[in-house]
Amino acid sequence: MFIKRLASVVAGSTVVAATLAGIATTTVAPANADGGTAIGAAYSAATDKWGFGKDQPDVSTAYSAAKAACTGKGGTDCKVVGGAINGCGALIVGSFASIGFGDTPDAAATAALSLVPGGTIKETQCSSAPAAPANVPKQGPTVSPKPGLTGVTFHITDRSGVASQCTYSSEGFESSFGLPANGSFDLDVPAIRLFKNRTGTVTCDNGTSTNTSVFY
């Protein structure tokens, strides 16, 4: 799982870490451009209260949710401790408060203890993994017929983005051809003019197909 740890960022400058009122703090964070979900933590040193914000669209929102959760538990001076995109965060408090990150709760706890040796892990939370993209069916090729004197020329264009081997079949006639990804192929089909609708099918080995119809 990809984890993006975020620290203080000001106008795109170099990342800067700070310590304020016994808390290893972070401030402004960029919007989430990684397609994941954000997690953030806040801690009140005066009251020993804390809160997490998780599964948020960006870290700024996660920070706000964490501070609200901390305040809702009675924290009087809740400050953001840190945040990440896609992963787990373990809030630890010792001589100061910090947060460790990892792919799993155990990994986050290990990271936290390395930051504050001898500290107490208050809570570990994990963001949800980004949703998997939906399986969008590939589109079949477009087929444009052009009748001629001795048959029909079919202009066939791929829309799947995947190169394939295709077969045109109609009225007992079959012809195979290669169709490049996002490319086109002109298929000449000999035929006797019967002055009626002639139907067929283009079937490709990438799982797509298109029905054809031409008056000839």
Q: Residue 93: name the closest of 72, 70, 64 by CA.
A: 70
pTM of the predicted model as reported, rounded to 2 decimal places = 0.49
Say if 75 falls within a structural domain: yes
Contacts of 94 (CB under 8 A, 6+ apart): 116, 117, 118, 119, 120
Choose one of 126, 161, 192: the last residue of a domain: 126
Q: What is the pLDDT of residue 134?
A: 59
Q: What angle do CA 33, 38, 40 make, to 5 degrees?
A: 135
Domain annotation covers residue 25:
yes
Are 34 and 80 contained in the same domain?
A: yes
Q: Give the containing element (helix H, strand E) for 66.
A: helix 59-72
% of residues, the chain, pLDDT over 70 = 81
> 26 with 107, same domain?
yes
In a domain, 131, yes or no: no
Order of strands, edge to edge, in the sheet holding 151-157? 142-147, 151-157, 184-190
For residues 10 and 96, state if they share a domain: yes
- Same-domain status, 95 and 167: no
Asked if 77 and 176 sit in the same domain, the reply is no
Are residues 69 and 161 both part of a single domain?
no
What sign does the dihedral 65-71-77-81 (CA atoms) show? negative
Is there a domain that residue 136 lies in? no
Based on its alpha-carbon atoms, the radius of gyration of the chain, rounded to whole angstroms, reads 30
Same domain, 154 and 107: no
pLDDT of amino acid 136? 76
Residue 27 has what pLDDT? 32
pLDDT given for residue 43 in this prediction: 96
Nearest by Cα to 201 from 137, 141, 150, 136: 141
Residue 133 falls inside a structural domain: no
**Which of 97, 126, 155 represents a domain boundary (last residue)?**
126
* CA terminus-to-terminus distance, the chain: 58
Segments forming the whole domain that contains residue 170 = 142-215
Q: Could you list the mean pLDDT of each consecutive 10-residue stretch along the chain, which spans 216 residues?
A: 36 27 38 62 96 90 94 96 87 94 90 94 83 72 95 94 93 93 92 94 94 96
The domain total for the chain is 2
Domain boundary among 83, 98, 126: 126
